[in-house]
């Protein structure tokens, strides 16, 4: 997400770095580059122009140009303006104690059904009792998809019938709510490939019947800024309270997410970051601006790590002292569950700059390591010294890798073990040397 914009902006700021002072012309030239970077990220011309104008007004004051680190001042201004562009403060959908009804709208393929499942999963984990409503009266396949999702996550699904009227849907929903307690109803509505009158009428009528507390428009970020006029139409015809951007994982440019607030005036509540059921994140403008500018996003990283169970301190201390191959496997699996390696690196301040542009960490490497360690016996994992040449040959054959792969893994393991030992010896309460952590 936002990779190309991040690379471009960081390049612009690199050219300003280390200057004792900046002239007005230098700042103007840099901001022209910023504007090009925004346009290349598929931000609309109007938004890009507006953005650089605001930065320029703030930056081209004598204070900035004469300050001790003018490049830092300019970066700070760009950061603040990016936060504003993305919506300012983090916006969340309203959630009362009881009787919340959320209506999801969007074009077919935007990710509505997937997102309905993700929301139910997320809020169920927070102790809510969600009910999913499959309200596509035209496509039984769409209802089937939600039924399957609901089953996977243990959330009941109320399905409309073919051509059921919105009034009938409301009556059936009320009937269900009379007999079973649910505090969050998530309604997945019909979508079409393109906006048409019939679709707008149908969702508007359903909205009038259900009086939802939130009406969220699901937008596919991959379609870029052209998705935004569609958003405006939905808002004019049906009324939208917030946006959900899906497939940000697949969109390196991020133009839709960057322009959405400005163009529609609606906040982005969530970002879809993978196809998986847990791939929906709250949309924090400040953290995202930090990520774009290569400042990292330590808060999200910490939250992700915390969400993984079984990380108590006693465990960690024991692991550091006696780091086995089994521990190595467990750690790798935990990291994998946090998301892609490259994405994680980007959340660590400065780390993204260590990666050459366009470089991706080979996720297959993790799968290979997993396969190799899984082919070892329990005893071998605990006592790697046992791993002589013939055992290594057996493990390579068993994991579909080569003996060289196994040897490389063992070398990495020995290095990790050394580091773990050193960490384990540090007095408690002290962080890593020189990192201020």
User: Residue 264: how many CA atoms within 13 Å on its side-chain side?
Assistant: 32
Tokens 């598929």 locate to: 42
SS3 per residue for 240-262: CCEEEEECHHHCCCCHHHHHHHH
Closest approach of Cβ 217 to ligand GDP, in Å?
A: 11
Q: Is 281 in the site for ligand GDP (CB under 6 A)?
A: no
| Closest residue to ligand GDP in the complex (CB) | 272
Per the rule left: phi > 0, alpha: psi between -120 and 50, beta: everything else, 212 is beta
Smallest distance, ligand GDP to C-beta of residue 278, A: 11
In Å, how far are 64, 132, 148 from 55, measured between CA atoms? 11, 44, 49
Helices within 133-226 (DSSP H only): 140-153, 166-179, 197-210
**Interaction between residue 150 and ligand GDP (CB under 6 A):** no
Q: Smallest distance, Å, CB 194 to ligand GDP?
A: 13
Check residue 113 for interaction with ligand GDP (CB under 6 A).
yes
Q: Which of 114, 241, 300, 352 binds ligand GDP (CB under 6 A)?
A: 114
Task: Assess 109 for contact with ligand GDP (CB under 6 A).
Answer: yes
Per CB under 6 A, contacts with ligand GDP among 209-248 are 246-247
250 binds ligand GDP, rule: CB under 6 A: yes
The nearer residue to ligand GDP, 246 or 259, going by C-beta atoms, is 246
- Tell the burial category of 41 from Cβ atoms under 10 Å away from its Cβ (0-12, 13-18, 19+): buried
- Residues 6+ away with beta carbon under 8 Å from 255: 41, 42, 43, 44, 224, 225
Q: Which is nearer to ligand GDP, 47 or 107 (CB)?
A: 107
Q: Please report whether residue 249 would count as binding ligand GDP according to CB under 6 A.
A: yes
Q: How many residues belong to the site for ligand GDP (CB under 6 A)?
A: 18
Specify whether the CB–CB gap between 168 and 112 falls below 8 A. Answer: no
Nearer to ligand GDP, 142 or 328 (CB): 142
Nearest residue (CB) to ligand GDP, 188 versus 405: 188
Question: Which positions make up the binding site for GTP?
Answer: 106-113, 188-192, 246-249
Q: Does 349 bind ligand GDP (CB under 6 A)?
A: no
Helix (H, G, I), strand (E, B) or coil at 150: helix
Annotated binding site: 106-113, 188-192, 246-249
Q: What is the sign, positive or negative, of the torsion defined by CA atoms of 273, 277, 278, 284?
A: positive
Query: Counting contacts by CB under 6 A, is residue 405 touching ligand GDP?
Result: no
Residues interacting with ligand GDP, by CB under 6 A? 106, 108-114, 191, 246-247, 249-250, 272-275, 279
């Amino acid at each position: 997400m936002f990779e190309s914009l991040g690379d471009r902006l960081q390049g612009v700021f690199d050219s300003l770095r280390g200057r004792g002072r900046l002239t007005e012309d230098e700042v103007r030239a840099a901001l022209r580059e910023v504007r090009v970077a925004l346009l290349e990220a598929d931000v609309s011309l109007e938004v890009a122009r507006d953005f650089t104008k605001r930065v320029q007004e703030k930056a081209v004051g004598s204070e900035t140009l004469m300050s001790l680190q003018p490049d830092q001042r300019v970066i700070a201004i760009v950061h603040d303006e990016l936060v504003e562009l993305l919506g300012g403060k983090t916006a969340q959908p309203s959630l009362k104690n009881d009787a919340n009804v959320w209506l999801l709208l969007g074009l077919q393929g935007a990710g509505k059904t997937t997102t309905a499942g993700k929301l139910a999963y997320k809020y169920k984990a927070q102790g809510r009792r969600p009910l999913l409503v499959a309200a596509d009266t035209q496509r039984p396949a769409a209802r089937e998809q939600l039924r399957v999702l609901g089953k996977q996550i243990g959330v009941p699904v109320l399905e409309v019938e073919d051509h059921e009227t919105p009034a009938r849907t409301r009556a059936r929903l009320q009937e269900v709510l009379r007999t079973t307690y649910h505090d969050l109803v998530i309604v997945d509505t019909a979508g079409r490939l393109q906006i048409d009158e019939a679709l707008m009428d149908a969702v508007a009528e359903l909205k009038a019947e259900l009086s939802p507390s939130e009406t969220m428009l699901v937008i596919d970020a991959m379609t870029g800024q052209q998705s935004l006029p569609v958003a405006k139409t939905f808002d004019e015809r049906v009324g939208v309270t917030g946006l959900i951007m899906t497939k940000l994982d697949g969109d390196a440019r991020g133009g839709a997410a960057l322009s959405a607030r400005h163009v529609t005036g609606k906040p982005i509540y969530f970002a879809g970051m993978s196809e998986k059921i847990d791939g929906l994140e709250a949309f924090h403008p400040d953290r995202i601006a930090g990520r774009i500018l290569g400042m990292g996003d330590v808060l999200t990283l910490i939250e992700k790590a915390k969400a993984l169970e079984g990380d108590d301190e006693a465990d960690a201390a024991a692991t550091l002292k006696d780091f086995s191959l089994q521990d190595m496997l467990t750690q790798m699996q935990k990291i994998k569950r946090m998301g892609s390696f490259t994405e994680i690196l980007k959340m660590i301040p400065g780390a993204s700059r260590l990666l050459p542009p366009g470089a991706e960490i080979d996720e297959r490497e993790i799968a290979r390591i997993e396969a190799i360690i899984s082919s070892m016996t329990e005893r071998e994992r605990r006592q790697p010294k046992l791993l002589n040449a013939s055992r290594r040959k057996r493990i390579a054959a068993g994991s579909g890798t080569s003996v060289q792969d196994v040897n490389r893994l063992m070398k990495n393991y020995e290095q990790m073990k050394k580091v773990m030992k050193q960490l384990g010896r540090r007095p408690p309460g002290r962080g890593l040397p020189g990192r201020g952590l």
